[in-house]
Structure formats: structure tokens, C-alpha cells
Amino acid sequence: MKLNSTVVAISLLVAAGAIVGAYQLGQQGGREAVSDEVQAEAPHAAQVPPVQSANPSNSTQVAAAHADMASGKPRFSHFRVGNRNVKSMYADGRYIWVGTSGGVVRYDSETDDYQLFNNKNSDLLSNGIFHVSRVDHRMAIGTYGGGLALYDPEANTWETMNIPEGLADQFVYDVLTLPNGDVWLATWSGANRVVGGDFSNPDAWETYTVENTQGGLPNPWVYNVAAGVNGEVWFATEGGLGRFLDGKWDSWQHEDGLGAPYEVVKESIQFKNDPAKSSMHHARQKDEQGLSDVNVAYNPNYVISMAVQADGTVWAGTWGAGLARFDGKHWRNYTTADGLPANHVFMLYIDKQNRLWIGTNSGLALFHEENETFEVKTVADGLYADNVFSMADGPDGSLWIGSFGGVAHIEQGW
């Protein structure tokens, strides 16, 4: 299908609610059935419909931002994906891959063509997409309950890796390919290493758990995996940060400095719906930290997002305890008191210029290292919505930013 407008609306038709993701905000229960067709609208730029926002009061500001495109500010366009989160984005040359809770979309930025892959028109076993990246000649697609899908765009062939093949769990949140060819997978039952990326070889699959790492992997629910600069591999989990280096495991929790104390953030936590009230899993975590009397969405050990910069600095985004910075010895925590737009950090992204972007429930922030300040972007600046879950650099230097309901494409100079 081809689209011929700067402002595009892609509607993925849904028969059921959105897939529940790692983030407990804006959640909607139930699995989805997505129609085989993707409907597209291409309204004239002067007739841009109101943009859905995490904060309805921002709708006037969004309209103003669209109208301001002629002022010399960076232009932006919006892509709608319906009532679902955009959990992952990946720029692969001219193609932008968009992982949603209704399937994965491949968009051709040169021709405006796009294709939706879901569990009706492909070999995907689940429409909930947590991760998209490239592993050699194939796209690695981590799913919610459907394992790891490997798609070869040239041959148009699919291969699914699941528990029988060696996968620790059918929920796959992140994929990391190392220079030596090893592939690491973050799942809800620990981490896998596929030695040499040889997925077809059962002997190449290794599984690491809390038990066989003696707590070096601090929790079985692993959300991110990232490469360090000295051969180490970092893991973001619901129980803290883990590190694997030269066969040895280490971990860090709130008691070591990860995440801001509750007293620092309690007045700025926006979410009163505590997951521990409805989940024994989350309730047990809070009990273990002595936080059973904290009845809001706060868990400093719950690392939702993670990124590692070129100098080896590790950044960890927490569930209500702000943004943590770790240089290997010392911790520094940033909260709304330091200019962070919110203390729930859904996404951390290092762009091609080695700049850190922070996606929160109240906007996107660019960290300025020279003075430790945050430049905050919201729907008024072109975001589709203020909750930001994913991001990618386009080959032309533009930015692609995923939120609940859609994607914003921002030209250079933002």
C-alpha cells in the first residue's frame, strides 16, 4: 500500500483490547485479533485531524505545533496505529520497522509503501511486539507470548524460536547481537545466550537464571540487555541491574544506590494505581524491599529501560524512582527535581551522536551532559503523545518516536 502525504494516519483495526505490556500504564487486557488489512488515510496537511494525546488538554497545543511548521522549525508527521503501544522501533536503511501491540509494520521511507505483519498474514504467533532489530540477514522480532520470530525480508521466510528450541520463555523483550556473533535474549524467565548466533544448533543455547548465576542475574524478568565497552553485558530486570563479564556475574539494587529514595519522589509520583495491589509478583518484590506500606507505583529495583553510552556509562530507567546513572563505581539519580519530565522512565535511547534520550510518561527528554540538564519535548513540540516507549534514528538524521497510539517523525534540527 502506498501513502502520498506528509501527515499519515495508519489505523490498525482491532477486534479486542491491546496486549498488556511491561509497563502497567494505560494497560488494556486481552489478546488482540488484528484485521488482515491496514487502513490508511492521507489527509491534506491543512486538514490534520486532532492528534490523540496522553493528555487531552494538550490537543490545542498539538494543532498549534502543526500550524507552526511554516515558521522554520523542524517539520513533523504523525502515523497512527490505533489504541496500542509502539514498544519498539528500528531503522534499517530506508525501512522503519514499527513494533506495536497489533503486529509489526515495515515502512519504506522513500516510497511511502508499508506492510503489516501479524498472526493472520505471517508466521508470527503473537501480535504483541516488544522488540525489532536485525540479526545478520534476518529481522529478530521479540513477541509477547509467541517467542522469537526471525524474518528474512529477501526470501520472505519465517522461523520461530520457542521453548522447545531452547528459549527460556515465550515472552521476549530484547535482543542483543555482539561483535563475536553471540546473541543475547531478554525473557521473563531469565536470559539466553545463543553462541555464535547459531539458532538451529541446540548446543548453542544457554540459559541464565537467578539460581544458576547465584543472584548475579537479580530477577528472572529481564527487560533489556546491552553491551558494555569492555566486553561486559548488562541486564535490566525487575530486581535490579545485572552484569556478566568473563564468566562472572554481579548485580546492583536500590541498596547499592540504584534509584531515588521514596522520600525524594513521593510528591511527584503521578500514578496511584500500584501494580502490587493486583499482582502477587509485584507485591512480593515490594515486601522484600520493605515497601509494603508504599501504595503507589514506586519500585526502585524495577529497571524498565537501560542504555550504555560509548564511555561505558550505564543508564537505568526505573519504575517511579527516576533515572539512575552508574559509572561502574558510583551512582547518581535524576528525578523531576532535576528537570526530568517524570520519574517513570519507559525508554532510554542513545542516538548516532551518542546523546541520551529519555522517554517517560510525561514527555521525551534530551540529556545535556555539559550542565546535567534535560531538554524536554512534548506533544507541543511534535510528539504523537507524551508517553514515549521507543525511538530510532532515520538514515537522514530524522527521529522516529513511538508512543501510545502512534509514531512521530521529526525532521533534523529538533
Asked whether residue 346 carries a pLDDT value surpassing 70, the answer given is yes
Asked whether residue 192 carries a pLDDT value surpassing 50, the answer given is yes
User: Per residue in 189-216, is it b (16+ CB within 10 Å) or e — as a string?
Assistant: bbbbbbeebebeeeebbebbebeebeeb
pLDDT band of residue 285 (cuts 50, 70, 90) is confident
Which residues are CB-contacts of 328 (< 8 A; sequence separation ≥ 6)? 312, 314
- Are 47 and 93 within one domain? yes
- Are 247 and 365 within one domain? yes
User: Per residue in 353-382, is it b (16+ CB within 10 Å) or e — as a string?
Assistant: eeebbbbbbbbbbebeeeeeebebbbbbbb
CATH number of the domain bearing residue 336: 2.130.10.10
Q: Pick the more confident residue, 64 or 360.
A: 360
Number of domains present in the structure of the chain: 2
- Are 218 and 106 within one domain? no
- Are 100 and 54 within one domain? yes
- Asked if residue 156 is part of any domain, the answer here is no
- Are 357 and 221 within one domain? yes
Question: Grid coordinates in use for 414?
Answer: 529538533
Asked whether residue 400 carries a pLDDT value surpassing 70, the answer given is yes
Size of the chain, expressed as the number of residues it contains: 414
Can you tell me the distance from the alpha carbon of 268 to that of 171, in angstroms, rounded to the nearest whole number?
32
Asked whether residue 388 carries a pLDDT value surpassing 70, the answer given is yes
Taking the CB of residue 31, how many other CB atoms lie within 10 A of it?
17
CA-CA-CA-CA dihedral for 99, 90, 172, 82, to nearest 10: -10
pLDDT band of residue 72 (cuts 50, 70, 90) is low
Q: Which domain holds residue 85?
A: 1-122+380-414
Can you tell me the distance from the alpha carbon of 82 to that of 44, in angstroms, rounded to the nearest whole number?
20
pLDDT digits (tens, 9 = 90+) for 4-24: 334 444 443 332 233 223 333
- Are 386 and 373 within one domain? no
- Are 282 and 404 within one domain? no
- Are 323 and 396 within one domain? no
pLDDT band of residue 71 (cuts 50, 70, 90) is low
pLDDT of residue 128: 97
- Asked if residue 268 is part of any domain, the answer here is yes
Mean pLDDT of 219-244: 97
**For the chain, what percent of residues have pLDDT higher than 70?**
82
Question: Grid coordinates in use for 93?
Answer: 536503511
- Are 286 and 395 within one domain? no
**For the chain, what percent of residues have pLDDT higher than 90?**
72
- Are 16 and 77 within one domain? yes
- Are 335 and 398 within one domain? no
Q: Rounded to two decimals, what is the model's pTM?
A: 0.84
- Are 311 and 408 within one domain? no
- Asked if residue 23 is part of any domain, the answer here is yes
Can you tell me the distance from the alpha carbon of 214 to that of 209, in angstroms, rounded to the nearest whole number?
8
Mean pLDDT of 110-115: 92
Can you tell me the distance from the alpha carbon of 397 to that of 411, in angstroms, rounded to the nearest whole number?
7
Q: Pick the more confident residue, 157 or 278.
A: 157
pLDDT of residue 291: 82
- Asked if residue 321 is part of any domain, the answer here is yes
pLDDT digits (tens, 9 = 90+) for 130-157: 999 999 999 999 999 999 999 999 999 9
HSE-CB of 41 using CA atoms within 13 angstroms = 16
